[in-house]
Structure 1
Amino acid sequence: MSLGPRLEFRQTQSLVMTPQLMQAIKLLQLSNLDLVAYVEAELERNPLLERQVEPEAASAAEGEGGRDEVVLRSEDHQLDPRAHSNETREEGQTTDWLEESLGSSRSAIEDRLDTGLENVFPDDAGRETVHPATGDSGSYSDWSGVGGGGREDDDYNLEAFVSAETTLADHLEGQLTLATNDPVALLIGHHLIDLIDEAGYLTTDLPSVAERLGAPLSAVQKVLEVIQTFDPPGIGARSLAECLAIQLKERNRFDPAMAALLGHLELLARREFGALKRVCGVDDEDLAEMVGEIRRLNPKPGLAFGSGVIQPIVPDVFVRGTPENWLVELNSDTLPRVLVNQAYYSRVQKTARGEKEKAFLTDCMQTATWLTRSLDQRARTILKVATEIVRQQEAFLSLGVQHLRPLNLRMVADAIGMHESTVSRVTSNKYMATPRGIFEMKYFFSSSISSSDGGEAHSAESVRFRIKQMIDAETPDDVLSDDTLVQKLRESGIDIARRTVAKYREAMRIPSSVQRRREKQAAASAG
C-alpha cells in the first residue's frame, strides 16, 4: 500500500446552520417580551422594515391628524380684535371674521357679555409670538410664554408625582436627613442604606464597610444603630434574630427568655418545644405566648415598600370553548406585525451608487424577508404545538389537575411531525390561558408513574396533587407518614416508592410528619 497525496471527489449531505436558520431557531424560544424587544431592535436597524398599522389605528390616526389640522387653522385666527385692527374692511360690511366664526353679530355678543370685546386682559388674547427683531428687545424673554404653572408643556402631569411609589431607600434617606446633620454620619448612612436589600437586611459586614469608607468601625456601628431605629421596625438587621429582636425592643417585649428563644430559632423551626422550654426556662403557657409574639412580627420589613415593577404574565395562547369543542387561538397582542416596504426598496435601489450601498440594501432586504417569514412560522408552530397539547390534555381541561395525563416531548413531536428540540423551544417561556388558569406550556409535560393494577399510568403532577390533598385533610391526631401515604396511594392504584413521595413532599415545601404533628398540636393548643 503506497502512501502519497491524491485528489478525490466526494458527495455528502450536511445541515448548514445559516444565519437565517439560526435566527428562526432563536425566535422560537423567545418569550413575547423578548420577541418585542428583538423586533424593535430590527426596526431601528433595518430601514426596509416597518410596523403594520391596523385599519382601526390607521383611521384613528387620520382622525387625529384632521383634528390637528383644525387646531392649526384656529391658531391662525386669533380671537383678539387688536390683531386685526390693521386690516381694511369695506364700509357697510355687516359681518366680520368674529361674526363668521361665532355665528352672531358683534353687538349681540357684547350685549350678552355686558362688556366690549376690546375689554380684555393681555393674557386673554392667546399666546403671541414676539420676535426680537419686531418687538422690544429689552423686554423680550424666553419666559414670556410661560404661564402660571412655570412651564408651557401641555404634557405636564402632576398625577405622575402623586402616584409615584416610595421606595425603601427613599423612605430611609428621608428619616436619615431628619436624624442627623453631621456630614460624616450622612455619608456613612447613605452608603449603609444602599447596602440594604429589598427585604430590609444589611447585606455586608461592618468591617468591610468601614474599610471601604476609611471610617472608624465604631462610627459605622453608631450610624447603623441609628438606622435600626427607623421605620419600619427591624430595618437594617444583619440576621433574622437581630431583625426580630429590634421589633421586640420596639414593643418593649425583649427579655432574657425571649433572647434565649431568638438564640435558638432552629429549635423553633423544628417545633422542638420541649428543648425550647428547657433553654428559655419557661412553662408551656409562657412558651406558647412567646411563640405567638414571634409569629406576629415581620421577618421581612422592607417588603412593605415598592421594589421593582412586576411584569404580569401575558399568555401566548388562549383556550376557550367546551369539553366537546375546544378552541385554540393565538394572542394577537403578543405577535409583532412588521412588513417589508417593497416600494421604498425599489425607489432606493435605483439611487444606489456604490457596491457597498447595493450590498447593504440587499442584506437589509434578505433580513427583512427572513424576519417576516420567521415570525409567521413561529406563530404557526406555536399554534400547532398548543393544539396538540390541548388534544392530549382534554381530561385536565374538563375535570381538573388530578386527570392530567403523562406527556413528553416525543409524543407531541411525533404527533405533529416535528423534532423534539423544536417542541422544547416552542414551549419554553410560553404561557397558555385555559378555563382553569394560566399555565406555562412546560407544565403540561409530566413524567409517568405506573399503575399498581395495570391500568393507565398517572402523571407526576396529578400524584403531587393527591399527596397535597391528603396532607391538607390531616388532623392533629392523625398525621400521615410517608409510608402511610405510599399505602394510600397504592390502594388508589398508584404504584410509587417511599423516596418518591418524600421527594414530591419536599418539592412542595411540606415538612415531615413529625414537624406537621408538632405544628398542628401547637395550633390546636393555641386555639
Structure 2
Amino acid sequence: MCAMQRLELRQGQSLTMTPQLVQSIKLLQLSHAELAAYVEAELERNPLLQEGETPADAPVPSLAHFLRAKQKAEAARPRLVPGPPPSRGEAVPASGGQAASAGHSELRPEMGDVLAQATNLSAHLEAQLDLATADPKLRMIGEHLIHNLNEAGYFTEDLAEFAARLQVTPEEAETALRLIQSFEPSGVGARNLAECLSIQLHERDRLDPAMEALLAHLHLVARQDFSGLRKVCGVDQEDLADMLAEIRRLEPKPGLAFAPAVIDVLVPDVLVRTTPEGSLNVELNPDTLPRILLNRSYYAEVAKVVRKDEDKSFLSDCLQTASWLTRSLDQRAKTILKVAAEIVRQQEGFFRQGVAALRPMTLRSVAEAIGMHESTISRVAANKAIGTERGTHTMKFFFSAATGEGEHSAKAVRHRIRLLIEAERPSDVLSDEAIAQKLRADGIQVARRTVAKYREALRIPSSAERRRRYKLKA
C-alpha cells in the first residue's frame, strides 16, 4: 500500500528585511555628522532631491541638467555589496511598513559604502559579529557591548552592572565580551591595559608565565623598577629587556586606528529647556536636522520629455529613493524625539536636581513605555546627545542599572561617593566602610565592596593612598 501523504495549510507571520528597511534601521544609529555626510552624498547623486526650501521664482532645471546628473551618478555609483542578513527577532523602526513596501533602488548604495571613507570601530566589529555567531541573544549582547566601547576600544563599564541593565546573566555578558575580544583589531574589548596586552600576546603565542607576571605588575614598569620586575618575573636582565621590547611593540589603544582625524564636539541632537511655567520642553535641535525635499515639479517636467527606457528607469529610481529618504528622515526624527521625551520623563529628577537624582533606567523600561523594541532604543541612544541646562550628555548617560537594595541609580551613587570624598578633611579620610555607612544613613543600601568597586571605577585612590598624599602635600 502506498503511504498516504497529508497536506497541511499553515498560516504565520514573518518579517522580510528588504534592503531599504535595513537602511532605515541603520539611519537610526548614525550620528548627526554621519547622517550629514550620507545626505550630502544623496544630494549629489539624486537630482530630484534638494536642500532646504525652493524659492517660488526658482527656475525648473532642464532635461540637460537631468541627463548630466544621471551621467554623474552612474560614474560615481559604487559597486553594491549586499549587507549581512539580520538576526532573528531584529527590530524595525515605526516606519518599517512604509519603507519595506518599496523595492530596492540601485541608485542608492549601501550606507556603509557612502561612509566607507570614515569606517568606525562599531561598524567594523558588528560586521565580524554577524559572521561569528548566529545566536540572537549573544548577538544582542554583543551589539550593546560594541556600542559601549570607548574610542580606544576598551570596555570600561562594570560588566555586572552592564549585565543587569540588559537583564542578562553576568556569565552571558562575559561570554559575549570574550567573543568581542577575539575580533580584530587585536586587543579590542579589553577592560584594562593589562588585558589588552594579554590578548595580543596570547594571539602571538607569547603569553608565558613570566609575561603574565609582568602584565600583573605594570605599575613596576611605569616606575621603571627593573629590579622588582626581574624578581616577580623570575628572569634575568637580558630576558626582561626582551619582554619589555615586545610589550612596546603592542598596540595599547587598538580602537584609535578607527577614530576620526578630527574629534567632533559633542553637539546635542535634542534640547531640553525649562519653560517659564516650570515644565520641561523637549525638542529636536534644528541645527542637526538635515533639510531635504523631493522636488516634484522637477520630476513632473522631466517625466514629460524623457524618452529612453534607461532614462525613465533612472528617473523612477530617483523618485523612489528620494521618497524613501524623506520619509525615513522624518520617521527617524520622530523616533528620536519620542525616545528622548520618555528619557526626560523617567529622569525628570536629573533635569531639576542634577546627577544625584538620576534613577535606574534600562533600555527595556523605555522600550516598554513607548511600545518599541529594545534594539531600536539602543540604536537611537547610540551617537546621540541631549543638551540640558546642566550640560550636554550622551543619551547613554541616562541609562543605569539599580544598585543596592533601593531604587538608586549606580551613576547617582558614584556621584555621591565622589562628592563625599571631595568634601573629606585631610585629618578625617573616609574609608570605604565609612562611605558605605554615610550612604546607608541617607537611605542608599550599599555594601563596602560596592563602594570600593565604584571608587575604583572613578579612579579615586584608596583611603590609605589618599591619606599618604595629604601628608605629602602638607
Normalised TM-score (structure 2): 0.54
> Counterpart of 1:31 in structure 2: which amino acid?
S
2:442 maps to what in 1? Answer: 492
1:299-321 CA distance string (max 9 Å, x none) = xxxxxxxx964432211111112
Give the 3-state SS of the residue equivalent to 1:429 in structure 2. Answer: coil
> Counterpart of 1:389 in structure 2: which amino acid?
I
CA distance in 2, matches of 1:470, 1:400: 16
How far off is 1:416 after superposition? Answer: 1.6
CA distance in 2, matches of 1:54, 1:384: 29
1:68-107 CA distance string (max 9 Å, x none) = xxxxxxxxxxxxxxxxxxxxxxxxxxxxxxxxxxxxxxxx
CA distance in 1, matches of 2:330, 2:40: 17
Q: Is the 8 A contact 2:268 2:385 kept in 1?
A: yes
1:32-61 CA distance string (max 9 Å, x none) = 101100101111122211112387xx99x9
Q: Which of 279, 292, 301 is matched with 1:325 structurally?
A: 279
1:475 maps to what in 2? Answer: 425
2:86 maps to what in 1? Answer: none
Query: Is residue 294 of structure 2 the alignment partner of residue 340 of structure 1?
Result: yes
CA distance in 2, matches of 1:401, 1:333: 27
Q: Is the 8 A contact 1:406 1:460 kept in 2?
A: yes
Query: Is residue 467 of structure 2 the alignment partner of residue 513 of structure 1?
Result: no
Query: Is residue 366 of structure 2 the alignment partner of residue 366 of structure 1?
Result: no
1:49 maps to what in 2? Answer: 49
CA distance in 1, matches of 2:373, 2:289: 24
How far off is 1:359 after superposition? Answer: 2.6
Give the 3-state SS of the residue equivalent to 1:53 in structure 2. Answer: coil
Identity %: 61
Query: Is residue 394 of structure 2 the alignment partner of residue 444 of structure 1?
Result: no
How far off is 1:441 after superposition? Answer: 1.1
1:202-249 CA distance string (max 9 Å, x none) = xxxxxxxxxxxxxxxxxxxxxxxxxxxxxxxxxxxxxxxxxxxxxxxx
Q: Which moved more, 1:394-403 or 1:476-485?
A: 476-485
Identify if the C-alpha distance between structure 1 residues 418 and 314 changes in structure 2 by more than 3 Å, giving closer, same or farther: same
What aligned pairs does 1:25-64 form with structure 2 within 5 A after superposition?
Answer: 25-53=25-53
CA distance in 1, matches of 2:269, 2:36: 13
Query: Is residue 12 of structure 2 the alignment partner of residue 12 of structure 1?
Result: yes
1:357 maps to what in 2? Answer: 311
- Structure 1: runs of 5 or more not aligned: 63-263, 276-306
2:382 maps to what in 1? Answer: 428
Give the 3-state SS of the residue equivalent to 2:312 in structure 1. Answer: helix
Give the 3-state SS of the residue equivalent to 1:320 in structure 2. Answer: strand
Give the 3-state SS of the residue equivalent to 1:520 in structure 2. Answer: helix
> Counterpart of 1:328 in structure 2: which amino acid?
V
Q: Which moved more, 1:510-519 or 1:309-318?
A: 309-318
- Structure 2: runs of 5 or more not aligned: 60-216, 229-259
What aligned pairs does 1:187-336 form with structure 2 within 5 A after superposition?
Answer: 309-322=262-275, 324-336=278-290
> Counterpart of 1:431 in structure 2: which amino acid?
A
Normalised TM-score (structure 1): 0.49
Identify if the C-alpha distance between structure 1 residues 265 and 378 changes in structure 2 by more than 3 Å, giving closer, same or farther: closer
Identify if the C-alpha distance between structure 1 residues 265 and 499 changes in structure 2 by more than 3 Å, giving closer, same or farther: closer
CA distance in 2, matches of 1:309, 1:26: 23
> Counterpart of 2:12 in structure 1: which amino acid?
T
How far off is 1:21 after superposition? Answer: 1.2
Q: Is the 8 A contact 1:475 1:520 kept in 2?
A: no
CA distance in 1, matches of 2:2, 2:439: 72
Q: Is the 8 A contact 2:404 2:447 kept in 1?
A: no
C-alpha RMSD of matched pairs (Å) = 3.1
CA distance in 2, matches of 1:344, 1:365: 11
Q: How many residues align?
A: 282
